[in-house]
Chains A and B, each alone.
Chain A
Amino acid sequence: MSSEYEKDGQPSKTADASPEDANSLSKDETKKFYEDKGIDFSPDSPIRPKPIPPFEKSISDKIASKFGSKVNIDYVRPSRIRISTKKEDILDVAFFIRDELGYDHAESVAGVDYPDSKEIEVVYHLGSYTDEKLVTQVLALATRVPREEIPNPGKDSTRMTSLREVFYSVEFHERECFEMFGVYFEGHPDNRRLLLPEDWADIPPFRKDFKIKGR
């Protein structure tokens, strides 16, 4: 993951892998486990460093040179770029991505809840149909909004600018993100519930503090 994540310690804090985890064997043990059963041992290093692809690098460089310290290039991989920005700047960055770089639609808008750092991340996955060079690319544009301990969707500080005027296709995705995470999108003309029932009275269900019964 990005340097930003490690700085926050967000996923890794919750993730403090307990070495005594009974289910996870050490490398040698796993090897033995499989060799005893006569099975090929799968590759054991999960993350291998990959060379940075030049085309993707050129796109991320364009964004970085335009916005400087306002954006953070989280990673550049084959066909995938992820950049994160402050929520105040996201509209400018989105306009630049659409008008200068040629991305024209959103594939998904995903919320990710980080209760430990009191933030909710909103990730836009953007793609392009029109630019032949960009058809394999998916650009993830991420921003973080404050998270309230007791959510009051639509009325608390969990809000950001809607990207609907930039990418029209985010309309229903943002409505889903609003009801599932309580992120209010300012400027969205239709911030109603989409999937949840009208009489849903609990907190937004995809937040981490909403627990499934029995789990």
Chain B
Amino acid sequence: MATQLPPGIQLEKVDDRIMTLNVGPQHPGSGHMRLIIKVDGDYIVSCDPDPGYVHRGEEKMAEYRNYIQNIPHLERPVIHDSCNILYPYCLAVEELLGIEVPERAKYIRVIASELNRCIYTLYWLAIYGIFLGHSTMFMWPAGDRELFIDLLEAMSGARVTHAYLVPGGVRNDLPANFEERCLRQVDYLEKRLKEYQSIFYKNPILISRTEGTGILSRTDAIRLGTTGSVLRASGVDYDIRKKEPYDVYENLDFETVVRKEGDSYARSYIPYLEMFESCRIIRDAIRKMPKSGSVRTKLKPNPKGGNDEVYKRVESGRGSLGYYIVSNNRPEPYRVKISVGSFRNLICMPYLLKGELLGNMPSVYWGLNYWPVEADR
């Protein structure tokens, strides 16, 4: 390569064959980030991801607010998976402050976060569909997602930014007739998911565009520290809900979905299959949930953590999501570090895109289940 290019140049010839191409941050196929791609004809020679366009300093903001005030802004990185991003925060604060959670609240949390996982996955699936040119796959999940949003709205009062999970339990109890309504929606979703299968996942055009593209071997998936569906698509059986169960996941009946191919198709198929598992979890949790009881242990006003630190993680829609909280006897945390799946999976983007056709970029990119806002925090 002739010279090292400064970033910010739209389209420049590097030498006779290689050109630099900026994908994003305005490009709709890139999300809120930029990929500096060098192409040789139609083939990608190198890719340098440049995130940070939606960096909001959530971790810094958390140092100025107390443990309760932190709840609504910490869910902002992924508002459509807000229960799952608050889950490890609640677990961490509970361990820090020594709070016990009522049994019923644990089940409600699991139900809320599984509903939210479905909402996230359907949203992701809609985007994945439209970027592969399949507009039916954009409309269907975006519509079906509304039913689950309505359920969570009935539970929490908000459509997307629920702030439903709080340290000590959940904010309020389930509405009347929730179980019935929830089971009805879950049945409906399962019926619809089977239709997705026939229209999208068995579509020969989708298969030809995604099968065999962006292959990540098992060794590389482990070495690069990937997580979530990317890891499980490469044949590693690792799901924190199974391996390090939190709350009541150990009592519930579900399977980890693993595939061995490691290509873009497997990566996009796993979140879809996991929605069936989410439905199983929701059914099982509703069956096993205590029918009455407290749903929240109230915290003291302005609670203080000791001179302590804690690291808690859960399985979110995009993989492992961990909170590292250092506390120093103050009502505010001393330091909050959020370890998110999107940021961890970003590292394999240059590896997967190298040698791919430029036209395969969207399928590899969105197959990573990557959410730029979460990665930037």
Contact = CB atoms under 8 A, between A and B. Distances in A.
Interface of A: 1, 5-6, 10-12, 14-15, 17, 21, 23-25, 30, 33-34, 39-40, 42-48, 79-80, 82, 104-108, 110, 112-113, 123, 125, 129-130, 135-136, 138, 140, 167-173, 176, 193-198, 205-206, 210, 212, 215
B335 A25 contact: no
A112 B328 CA distance: 12
Contacts of A42: 99-100, 168, 297-300
A206 B59 contact: yes
Contacts of A169: 223-225, 344, 347
Given A48-B98, A194-B52, A24 B302 contact: yes
Given A30-B300, A39-B298, A135-B244, A108 B339 contact: yes
Contact of B225 (A11, A30, A105, A210): A105
B57 A171 contact: no
A112 B63 CA distance: 12
Given A107-B313, A206-B59, A5 B307 contact: yes
A105 B294 CA distance: 40
B74 to A, nearest CB: 16
Interface stretch (B120-128, B183-191, B319-327): B319-327
Contact of A23 (B51, B60, B301, B344): B301
Nearest to A114: B334
B326 A106 contact: no
A135 B55 contact: no
Contact of A195 (B231, B294, B376): B376
B269 to A, nearest CB: 20
Given A46-B305, A108-B339, 12 more contacts: A11-B329, A43-B98, A46-B98, A79-B244, A105-B222, A105-B223, A107-B322, A108-B322, A108-B337, A123-B324, A125-B339, A169-B344
A107 B344 contact: yes
A47 to B, nearest CB: 5
B55 A47 contact: no
Contacts of A196: 52, 55
9 cross-chain pairs, A with B, having the tightest CB-CB distances, nearest first: A169-B225, A11-B328, A108-B339, A105-B225, A195-B52, A15-B329, A110-B337, A1-B307, A23-B302
A43 B57 CA distance: 33
Contacts of A129: 222, 231, 236, 238
A210 B306 CA distance: 24
B304 A24 contact: yes
Given A43-B99, A79-B244, A198-B8, A14 B328 contact: yes
Contacts of B297: 40, 42
